[in-house]
């Protein structure tokens, strides 16, 4: 493997990713990319002559690192963080209209014995925006299983539904934090 050429590609990809993800720095992304390539050298080595292949590997490793950093900062920034369970609960509330929800705010839920607060409204807004960011397959399975209450067809669909709920929670949190990092660093 021509490490100097691979290092140059990794450096360019790291610069591009750091420009798109405010939470990471070029050197950190570059280091993570090179670590990934070194760990996977026996698989990457035979194809390392293909610059496009190396660029894709670098991009995937760098994006994975940036995404992990973003999720970590979202979790530890002292702001509210939607969990997958909360995303499921919000989806189940979609069976009700906004008028029906607003008529029960402040009352106790008959089933859970919990007081319904106006937080459900903002969570529904975040979930609606988050659903638009998901793939059609994820959106369809979430609506079918969690809104309409239909059972999953098989184990593969159950796993896809769980991944879709996780993706929705992440999308809800991204919507909630939109602009927050650039606002803080201004």
DSSP for 135-174, please give it. -HHHHHHHIIIIIS-PPPSSHHHHHHHHHHHHHHHHHHHH
Phi, psi of 115 (to 5 degrees): -80, 130
Name the pTM for this structure: 0.56
What integer pLDDT is reported at residue 47 of this predicted model? 86
What is the 8-class DSSP label of residue 182?
A: H
Tokens, residue 15: 């610069």
Tokens, residue 186: 């201004």
Domain ranges for the chain, please list them. 3-76, 84-184
> Using one digit for the tens of pLDDT, what is the confidence trace for 24-62?
999 999 999 999 999 998 888 898 888 999 999 999 999
Three-state secondary structure readout of 68-128: HHHHHHHHHCCCCCCCHHHHHHHHHHCCCCHHHHHHHCCCECCCCCCECCCHHHHHHHHHH
Give me the residues of the chain with pLDDT under 70, please: 74-75, 77-79, 101-119, 175-186
Mean pLDDT of the chain: 83
The C-alpha atoms of residue 18 and residue 36 are separated, in whole angstroms, by: 17
């Amino acid at each position: 493997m021509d490490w100097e050429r691979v290092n140059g590609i990794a450096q360019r990809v790291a610069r591009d990713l750091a420009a798109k993800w405010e939470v990471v720095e070029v050197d950190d992304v570059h280091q993570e990319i090179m670590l990934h390539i070194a760990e996977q050298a026996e698989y990457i080595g035979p194809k390392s002559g293909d610059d496009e292949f190396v660029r894709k590997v670098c991009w995937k490793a760098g994006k994975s690192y940036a995404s992990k950093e973003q999720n970590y900062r979202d979790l530890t920034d002292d702001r509210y963080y939607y969990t997958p369970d909360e995303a499921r609960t919000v989806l189940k509330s979609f069976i009700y209209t906004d008028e029906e929800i607003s008529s029960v705010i402040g009352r106790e839920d008959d089933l859970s014995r919990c007081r319904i607060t106006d937080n459900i409204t903002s969570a529904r807004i975040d979930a609606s925006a988050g659903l638009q960011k998901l793939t059609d397959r994820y959106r369809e399975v979430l609506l079918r299983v969690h809104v309409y209450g239909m059972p999953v067809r098989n184990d593969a669909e159950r796993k896809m539904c769980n991944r879709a709920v996780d993706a929705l929670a992440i999308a809800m949190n991204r919507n909630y934090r939109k602009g927050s990092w650039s606002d803080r660093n201004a």
